[in-house]
Amino acid sequence: MWLFKFATVLLVVGTVALVYLDAQIRHRFEGHRWSLPAKVYARPLELFTGQQLATGQLDYELTQLGYRWVNHAKAPGQVQKTNQGIVIFSRGFRFADGDQKGHVVEVSLKRNKITGLRQTSGASIALLRLEPQLVGGIYPAHNEDRELIQLNDLPNGFIETLLAVEDRHYYSHYGVSPWGIARAMWANVKAGAVVQGGSTLTQQLVKNFYLTDRQTLWRKLIEAPMALLLNIHYSKDEVLEVYLNEVFVGQAGKRAIHGFGLASRFYFGQPLSELKLHQVALLVGLVKGPSYYNPQRHPERAIKRRNLVLSILAQQGLISEAQKMNYQGLPLDLTEASQVSRYPAYMDVVRQQLQQHYQASALSNHGLRIFTSLDPWVQHQADTAMVEQVNKLKQRHGNIEGLQGAAVVSHRGSGELLALVGDHNGGYAGHNWALDRSRQVGSLLKPVVHLAALETGQYSLVTSIDDAPIALPQADGSLWQPQNYDHKSHGKVPMYETLVKSYNQANVRLGLQVGVDKVLQQLRRMGVEQSIPAYPSVLLGAVEMSPLQVNQVYQTIASNGFYSPLSLVRQVTEANGRLLSHFPFAVRQSASNDSIYLLQHEMRMVAREGTARGVYRFLPKQQKVAAKTGTTNDQRDSWFAGFSGRHVATVWLGREDAKPTPLTGAGGALNVWGQMMQHLAYTDHEDIKPQSIDYYYLNITTGKAMPDNCPNGVWLPMLKTLAPPINTTCGY
């Protein structure tokens, strides 16, 4: 009797347990299966007729995107060289503004300039947008990362390979395979050790998906019934699809690579659908031991494992012996693009900005897609220039202890941030020197003084300014006596020369004439919000700003006096493409077009003949740049800021402890700026001259206009209202 009772209790308990397990299985399987990290994308490269690219840029970008060079591009992700240029078979991509299909387009190039885009049909097209590079993610605490795939994303031979190696009878067993267990046991007994597991793919999934790794008895007991239940409720294909996304295939630092979709990106830099059989064999082989067979760390083990998988395929008649030999002879074909986050400083700001709008869990769990303006080429050049030039400076000056650096680059036309370097060696740990630290900006502020003067409408570039020594009483009764860098005075000089030669005494005098408060108001209009006390020393840059803030000010000058906040997130969408947020382009006029035109002219003179002229060691003579150097007291900070036709950039160098360095602005930061700009594409166009301005041929000593056959004159733009009468003589 008690036996019957016991059996009944057991039956009830068993049934309840089974019902409970069943509920768990169905809930997890049908519900929200994974938390997906937000994906962060760089800007997509837009190719259009007339687009000027930099030397090497297109190759670099295509490599980063995992494109493969072939003789005849006939599948997405392939690219082919032709006589005129290249043929690109682009991949489809879901942009924030909609889905875009892949295209086959021949891009004609002449000296890195796109001269035409043609489809295979011969029809020319206006624009080809490549898919953007995935540059990072915002990971949840457990650091699992994956890219979801569906069965129809699999390349040919994938399922066959996977099943041949992991579970030959997958489509015929019931979730567990007694035969598989028996075979494994036999193999283990024969070997005297555990050499083979009898788990089906279903069991492996149950183990990873529902249970912990701990080898507990409970786990062992429920694994098989759960696999059976899974098999009852769901089709083989459904279970397989979840397995493909769940499987653990590698580790990148703290980030765990799950699923074959991400594995393909991670190891090959390509979408899964593009993989060839030798690559498929490697991925499938990795399931057995992702760290032991890690192809990056142990390529010889990985090749061995891959070739074993290929042998199994041949044994089972899935490929011929000849195919096996062929594939086994191929290299691993791993991606050349580094898989470590290369953009720590930039990602840092992306994260900061997003956290203002999104909860941390939303960012790390919901597979949001973040579209940024990061320009991988510009970032690459900025990083390289920083590392190389800092090394050169150290060679020249001996080790400069604790030398740090930062660089910011934005797009002149839109105010979007293209690149950020937060550290002297490109990577960064701890401080992001481009944002977190503010330093005195020195002479970088002089253009703002000049702008404030020009805005009064009473100054022209030849207005005479006295560079005589100056002494100002301070609050404590002492005298402030700023000096020129060369410790000399230069008498009365035309206003433009005070900027070109960066004379301190003359600039202080100019600033005092205009009013320190006016200068500060101008600075605020250009995006510097912090409150700054109106001391005269401000006129020489006794104001602490981060490189990012400096770049904001120069961005406003570069975009003809229109302030727009430096931005880096363009759009955010859900995983399915639904648009969540976007950042409209907005501007605010902060200075008149006339004044900016004159200031830009002065700043170009600084680069042509003044303190910034060293940039032409790097740049071709015909390229126009406007720039300014900055050096603070005792050379604690070396600054350089300016812009070309397309880019606005700021570079800072200095010691962590803010002690003096051997570097001036021109001797330090200029080199990083110059090398970087040298490798960026540039477009030159005439500045658009406002109607109120004309060019005059001027005698610099008298400030008077003269006939253009007179010697020693200078052509300068001036407000027509301030234009002097034209002398009939040369005035000497």
Partner 1 sequence: MYNNEITPFKHLLLICLVIFLGGCAAPGYGPIVEDLSVQARPSERMPSSSTNAPTDTLVTSQAPTLVVTAKPKPYVAPKADVTITAQPISNQVATGSVVQEIILPVVQESPLPPSNQAVVEQLLAEADQLKAQGKVTQAVIQLQRAQRIAPREPKVYARLAALQLSLGEASRAEQLALKGLTLVPNKNSYQYYFWKLIGASRSHLGDTKGEAKAIAEAKKYK
Q: Which of residues 339-368 bind partner 1 (CB under 8 A)?
A: 349, 352-353, 356-359, 362, 365-368
Cβ of residue 364: shortest distance to partner 1, in angstroms? 11
Residues near 482 by beta carbon (within 8 Å), at least 6 away in sequence: 470, 504, 505, 508, 537, 540
Q: Which of residues 69-88 bind partner 1 (CB under 8 A)?
A: none
Q: How many residues bind partner 1 (CB under 8 A)?
A: 98
Candidates 174-182, 271-279, 674-682, 685-693 — which segment interacts with partner 1 by CB under 8 A?
685-693
Residue from 104, 569, 641, 705 that binds partner 1 (CB under 8 A)? Answer: 569
Among 184, 187, 575, 658, binds partner 1 (CB under 8 A): 575
Cβ-based nearer residue to partner 1, 621 or 685: 685
**What is d(CA 670, CA 156) in angstroms, rounded to the nearest whole number?**
53
Cα distances from 636 to residues 134, 631, 732, in angstroms, run 38, 7, 44
Task: Say how many C-beta atoms besides its own lie within 10 A of residue 191's C-beta.
Answer: 10
Given the residues 90, 273, 443, 644, the one annotated as active site:
443
Specify whether 177 is catalytic: no
Nearest-approach distance from CB 409 to partner 1, in angstroms: 13
Nearest to 453 by CA among 594, 338, 319: 594
CB 57 within 8 A of CB 142: no
Active-site residue (options: 106, 147, 166, 455): 166
- Which residues within the stretch 528-557 sit at the binding site for partner 1 (CB under 8 A)? 528-530, 546, 548-549, 552
With residue 85 as reference, give the H or E element that holds it: strand 85-89
CB 615 within 8 Å of CB 653:
no
Task: Between 97 and 321, name the residue whose CB sits nearer to partner 1.
Answer: 97
Burial of residue 100 (number of CB atoms within 10 Å: 0-12, 13-18, 19+): middle
| Residue 220 contacts partner 1 per CB under 8 A | no
Give one DSSP letter per residue of 617-649, joined into a string: GTS-TT---EEEEEE-GGG-EEEEEEE-SSEEE
Collapsed DSSP state (helix, strand, coil) of residue 573: strand
Site for partner 1 in 710-729 (CB under 8 A): none
* Alpha carbon 546 to chain centroid, angstroms: 20
CB of 412 to partner 1, least distance (A): 7
Residues 97-116 that bind partner 1 (CB under 8 A): 97-98
Smallest gap from residue 617 Cβ to partner 1 (A): 29
SS3 671: helix
How many CA atoms are closer than 13 Å to the CA of 128, on its beta-carbon side? 25
Residue 31 interacting with partner 1 (CB under 8 A): yes
Binding flags for partner 1, 580-619, as an x/- string (CB under 8 A): xxxxxxxxxxxxxxxx------------------------
Task: Give the side-chain half-sphere CA count within 13 A for 124.
Answer: 9
Residues 424-463 that bind partner 1 (CB under 8 A): 435, 455, 457
Q: Nearer to partner 1 by C-beta: 110 or 582?
A: 582
- Ranges within 131-150 binding partner 1 (CB under 8 A): 142, 144
Q: How far is the CB of 135 from partner 1 (least distance, A)?
A: 17
299 with 308: CB under 8 angstroms?
Answer: no
Nearer to partner 1, 468 or 586 (CB): 586
- Pick from 212, 391, 481, 712 the residue near partner 1 by CB under 8 A: 212
**Which residues, numbered 398-417, are part of the site for partner 1 (CB under 8 A)?**
411-414, 416-417
Considering only residues 485 through 524, tell me which ones interact with partner 1, judged by CB under 8 A: 518, 521, 524
> Contact, 4 vs 114, CB < 8 A?
no
If the CB atoms of residues 512 and 587 are measured against partner 1, the closer one turns out to be 587
Which residue in 450, 525, 636, 704 binds partner 1 (CB under 8 A)? 525
Alpha helices, DSSP H only, in 259-331? 259-268, 277-286, 299-315, 321-328
Under rule CB under 8 A, residue 275 binds partner 1: no
Active site residue 443: yes
Residue 291, Cβ neighbours under 10 Å: how many? 11
Contact predicate 283/260, CB 8 Å: yes
Q: What letter would DSSP give residue 469? A: -
Give the Cα separation of 679 and 319 in Å (integer).
48
- Does position 578 interact with partner 1 (CB under 8 A)? The reply is yes
| Contact with partner 1 (CB under 8 A) among 6, 48, 179, 732 | 48
Pairing of strands 38-41, 369-372: parallel
Q: How far is the CB of 325 from partner 1 (least distance, A)?
A: 40
Q: Is 285 in the site for partner 1 (CB under 8 A)?
A: no
Return the number of the residue (319 or 558) whose C-beta is nearest partner 1.
558
Q: Which of 6, 7, 46, 392 binds partner 1 (CB under 8 A)?
A: 46
Shortest reach from residue 33's CB to partner 1, in Å: 8
Give the catalytic positions in this structure: 166, 443
